[in-house]
Chain A
Amino acid sequence: MLRVSTQVTGTAVDLGAINDAERAALDLPLGGELVRFAEAVAYRDADALTRTRKALLDAGGAQVLVDAAGVAANFQRMVRIADATGIPVDNMSSDLSAEIRSRLSLDQFASARNTPGALS
């Protein structure tokens, strides 16, 4: 979805930003603060949460923080729905899907086995 939204808006965002707060900060407004906050939520790191919550609040304001908390919480759920039910990726054959899997090394994840052809 990140790739699609960058294409629709004509914005240059390197997919590496997903795993690199410094790169995210260069590509998107609040990118660094958002990535660090998302990491703290996903790792349930209380100290990091306190720190990154304040940083995001100071940089973006209360509504940005609330929106980011909602999205992070939502995707803590989504990944578990996908893995608990073993659903495969919908569009394995598309070039976009292949590019994203390659750039982010997704084929290394254990749940890749749920998608036929992902581990070949």
Chain B
Amino acid sequence: MAAFDYQRASIPIRSDLPAAHRRYWDRLAKPGTWWTGVERVAIARESRNAVTCAFCAARRVALSPYAFAGEHEHAHALPTRVVDAVHRIVTDQARITRAWVSDNAANGLSNEAYVELAGIVVAVLSIDEFHRALGLELEPLPEPIPGEPSGYRPTHLAHDIGFVPTIPPEGAVGPEADLWPGGRTANVLRALTLVPDALRDWRHLSAAQYLSFDEMRNFEQSRDRSLNRMQIELVAARVSAINECFY
């Protein structure tokens, strides 16, 4: 049976959603830019463990997450620092700091690997959240595909925003020319561009779960959605507010 067979769901689900989720699962299993397929699937598994991790739950309500000792509930397939990064992005992302990201980079979790990790964590989380929202079983993780990461690093990078280098607005050229149309971008698009494929994955999932780049410029009623733009943004804003997202 194909992954993301929503025929079993009690309500009809438009076909672009399973297609986007299936596409991501295929990519998750393959070697990435800085992680192997085995490691990428292990990161995905940790993003699921984080949701029910008792240590994360306790740390979440601690005054500071940086002075709270303990051990995550995890699958023992990844280094401790990597496990902590995955769990923190899922359960306590609002308190991530530049110092923590820099400390990781100085101790084996490079900025590049961290960005790819973050892209995996949030993609898997959003697919799982879609399932939880509709009361569907989570999709089994894919079988990893052997091979080595590409190690690709974009040529044009700046360190002018955020905790990690990103491609500047004028830097989407050459192999990165597809990243944003017309040379116009926003910081949230630049965020993961140290690993350009992470943004490409982001765009594919967003086009199905939220809106495509083209439709983002339509502030009324998208032809493929039953919610109008105000209703869509009301949901988006409520979720963002609960997550205490300043951005």
Contact = CB atoms under 8 A, between A and B. Distances in A.
Interface of A: 1-2, 4-6, 8-9, 11, 13, 17-19, 24, 28-31, 34-35, 37-39, 41-44, 49-50, 53, 57, 60-90, 104, 106-107, 109-112, 114-115, 118
Nearest to B224: A67
Given A2-B234, A86-B96, 8 more contacts: A18-B234, A68-B231, A73-B133, A74-B126, A77-B202, A81-B119, A82-B191, A84-B93
Contacts of B96: 83-84, 86
Contacts, number: 256
Please list the 10 inter-chain residue pairs (A to B) with the smallest Cβ-Cβ separation, ordered nearest first: A2-B233, A77-B126, A69-B133, A79-B245, A82-B247, A73-B130, A74-B209, A38-B238, A62-B11, A70-B209
Interface stretch (B36-44, B75-83, B157-165, B172-180): B157-165
The interface residues of chain B, by DSSP majority, are classed as helix
Given A31-B234, A38-B238, A87-B161, A79 B123 contact: no
Nearest to A17: B234
A65 B134 contact: yes
Given A75-B236, A81-B118, A81-B191, A118 B129 contact: no
B243 interface: yes
A35 B240 CA distance: 12
The interface residues of chain A, by DSSP majority, are classed as helix
B238 A5 contact: no
B236 A1 contact: yes
A83 B127 CA distance: 19
A5 B241 contact: no
Interface in B59-102: 89-90, 93-98, 101
A114 B164 CA distance: 12
A62 B227 CA distance: 11
Contacts of B54: none
B37 to A, nearest CB: 21
B144 to A, nearest CB: 22
Interface in B196-247: 202, 205-206, 208-210, 219-220, 225-247
A27 to B, nearest CB: 9
